[in-house]
Structure 1
Amino acid sequence: MKRMLETMMLLIAMALGVSAAMAEPITVTDLLGRQVTLEKPAKRIVLSQGRHLQALALLHPDPVSLIAGWKEDYKLDSASYAAWTQKYPAIEQIPSVGAATDLSFSVEKAISLEPDLVVFSLFTRAATSAGMLQGITSSFEKAGIPVVFVDFFVKPMQNTLPSMDILGKLIGREEQAAAFSDFYSARLRHITERIGLETKRPKVFMQVHAAPGDCCNSPGRGIFDDFIVAAGGHNIGADIIPGLAGRVSVEHIINVDPDIYLATGGPHMAALRGLVLGTGVDEEAARESLDRLVNSSPISNLSAIANHRAYGVWHLFNDSPTHILLIEAMARWFHPDLFADVDPDATLRELNSRFLALPLQGTYWITPQ
């Protein structure tokens, strides 16, 4: 009897120890170097960038259930939003805390939703004055609501994995975040370790939001430039654009005559007869839109187009950890001999089966016929 009581007491003590461990506060250091502490994993999150739903979808089987409020930028991709609505009808009940524009975020509305965490992007910080942003974060802190900064946009190659680690800890999904980190790192390392100092980088021109009558918007430094560099290319827009994005003249592009032409697009470009890619888009429709674009563009005489080295990519890789797919696709295009063994289609299948709560189903990159 005494031994039984001792065993029971030991089991109770172990249970209490486990409970105490589970109840320990969660502390992370965000991308601004701020320490952020939650008493328990977040269950009610406000997203200042609605498209960060996809980052949560890599970590949680029902990311919609975590969102207490969000900005409506994710709805700009109507095809993806429709797919989310079909699988998670509750998404339509998520309150809005602002439109797609950066300055539309309503602090008062967000606070009224009583979240246990607000997630901001470094892009919001870059697009907002320091004083305004300090006022926003102070308002949440006064209300006792933690704020964290992550980034998949401004410096994606540097900040994606730390951001996933931060989110994983704050929602109690550390193991899933670590598994994704291993998956992402292995594929990125496979590419970057082969690209040495002696590797000749092709000159790349990327036309963003590509449409025939509007040439030419281009990335500068950061965002897509980071992906192009990681894949072994040289973004000619970065040579003359000082910020994240800007314009490149037709004359300059023709004079440089890049080796590779890349266009970004999505379903939102259909109305402009531009490049159509993304969720729900079949390969034939995507290729038709790319052919139409290059045949009617002011830069249709580029060597890259004549040599069938014109490609299309989904624009919304620009703020998502799924950009590893884009890097793999570009590496094959830039260095077909060096990366013949890289298979972004296989990576997409594994990403869908192992990680994404809502699989990516559509055409997200396209090559010439």
Structure 2
Amino acid sequence: MVKMRRASLLLHRRSALASFAGLAAGLGAGRSAAQPRGWSRQVTDLLGRQVTIPAQPRAVLLGEGFQLLNLALVHPDPASILIGMGGELKRVAPILDADYRRAFPALSRVPELTAAVGQGFSAERALALRPDLVILSAWQANSEEMRRVVALLEGSGVPVIYIDIFQQPGRNTVPTVRLLGAALGQEERAEAYARFYEERRDRILRRVAESGRPGPRVLFSAFAGRWPCCWSPGTGGGGGEFLAMLGARNVAEGLINNPRGGTLAAEQVLLSGAEVFVGTGIYLPGEGTGIQVGPGAPADAARASLEAVLRAAEFATLPAVGARRAHGLWNAFNGAAINIVQLEALARWIRPELFGELDPAATLAEINARFAAVPYEGAYWTSLG
């Protein structure tokens, strides 16, 4: 009896998925018929998958709500094409989320498929929203659950592309911007930002290569004061990749086996001889844990929070703190295409002899003036010195 009941439930689930699939395919065909002829694009996503997008997307589903920030760099009205997205933006950047909802009131009517970072969503719910393009982050491909969802979406005729900034920002930010531009028919806007980014990044890379000298020893501590001591990037990931681009010596290298990062013991931190300290954080109004930087963060509170974190025993005696070469940085730069600002800030802090004239604040102001749909306001970084 139990086996028969399970079989009945499985049959019902498969029938429901088939119905959703048929509905999505039919709706997709209807949208394509209304599109101008000849629009179809074939793109290669950040996992190397070739994907055909038959018509200019008008119903986009974002698997990660934070990617709204990147979508908004290449599309003048992202809310006009969104029919669903992850819901984590309001939890990691509540002030920026509120700013977007004020600028684009239609966002308040966009269903949220998830409630926290790292969550997946069901194929049934996604198909019920009738997307004509689904945009996922590359890290979501690591989930067996999400791979099944993607197979069902694609089997229903819904194109799915993977973008990536979080896992390899140095390598993948510009390709992601260009991919979004191609997929959405916003190539001109995407290319303008890509060139803006490349010009600044390449200037830094050239100068580091020409110097021929190694940089200082750097401790990069994610969510310092919020997480137990001390999560640090390895040779890959956001912080580690940028440290390598600047020729810095990452104190975690050789101590962490995972290139994306891992935990250093307090004793390892104390013995690291770090000459520069960079801790990341986020600003959650009224909460006050860790380094308080990010959208809406007051500059004085950001500085005070860094000073408080650095009083911890594992940090207080570091050479970096004694020399006042200690800094705080918005953690979410790691997943945002505006991370060129992060790279410039790190370059100025880590290699001042090469990049003393860099002005990341001016770069952020130019992004706000030329590219951002909603301005980035607040203290996104802070320093002791």
TM-score over 0.5 (shorter chain): yes
Which letter does structure 2 place at the counterpart of 1:112? A
Which residue of structure 2 lines up, in the alignment, with residue 125 of structure 1? 141
Residue-pair matches, total: 348
CA contact (8 A) 2:181 2:190 kept: yes
Check if 1:203 corresponds to 2:217.
Answer: yes
For the aligned residue pairs, the C-alpha RMSD in angstroms reads: 2.0
Q: 1:85 to 1:103 in 2, by over 3 A?
A: closer
Which letter does structure 2 place at the counterpart of 1:317? F
Q: CA deviation at 1:360?
A: 0.5
Q: Aligned equivalents of 1:58 and 1:133: distance in 2?
A: 26
Unaligned runs of 5+ in 2: 1-33
Q: CA deviation at 1:301?
A: 0.9
Q: Aligned equivalents of 1:302 and 1:272: distance in 2?
A: 24
Q: Aligned equivalents of 2:342 and 2:82: distance in 1?
A: 27
Which of 183, 189, 211 is matched with 2:202 structurally?
189
Which of 217, 228, 247 is matched with 2:231 structurally?
217
Check if 1:53 corresponds to 2:68.
Answer: yes
Which residue of structure 2 lines up, in the alignment, with residue 13 of structure 1? none
The TM-score, its normalising length taken from structure 2, stands at 0.86
Which residue of structure 1 lines up, in the alignment, with residue 242 of structure 2? 227
Which of 77, 82, 85 is matched with 2:98 structurally?
82
Which of 159, 174, 177 is matched with 1:161 structurally?
174
Q: 1:21 to 1:48 in 2, by over 3 A?
A: closer
Unaligned runs of 5+ in 1: 1-18
* Equivalent runs, 1:253-292 vs 2, <5 Å: 253-268=269-284, 271=287, 273-292=289-308
Which of 327, 333, 353 is matched with 2:343 structurally?
327
Which of 237, 254, 257 is matched with 1:239 structurally?
254
Which deviates further from its counterpart, 239-248 or 266-275?
266-275
Q: Aligned equivalents of 1:297 and 1:261: distance in 2?
A: 14
The C-alpha deviation readout for 1:283-325, integer Å capped at 9, x for no partner, is 1111111111112353211110010000000010010111100
Moved over 4 A (4+): 19-22
CA contact (8 A) 1:287 1:368 kept: yes
Q: Aligned equivalents of 1:227 and 1:22: distance in 2?
A: 43
The C-alpha deviation readout for 1:113-153, integer Å capped at 9, x for no partner, is 00110011111123x13xx4432221001221110111111
CA contact (8 A) 1:44 1:66 kept: yes
Check if 1:107 corresponds to 2:123.
Answer: yes
CA contact (8 A) 2:39 2:56 kept: no
Which of 185, 199, 215 is matched with 1:172 structurally?
185
Q: Aligned equivalents of 1:202 and 1:186: distance in 2?
A: 25
Q: 1:343 to 1:213 in 2, by over 3 A?
A: closer
Which letter does structure 1 place at the counterpart of 2:53? L
SS of residue paired to 2:188 = helix
Q: Aligned equivalents of 1:363 and 1:345: distance in 2?
A: 10
Which letter does structure 2 place at the counterpart of 1:254? L
Which deviates further from its counterpart, 250-259 or 294-303?
294-303
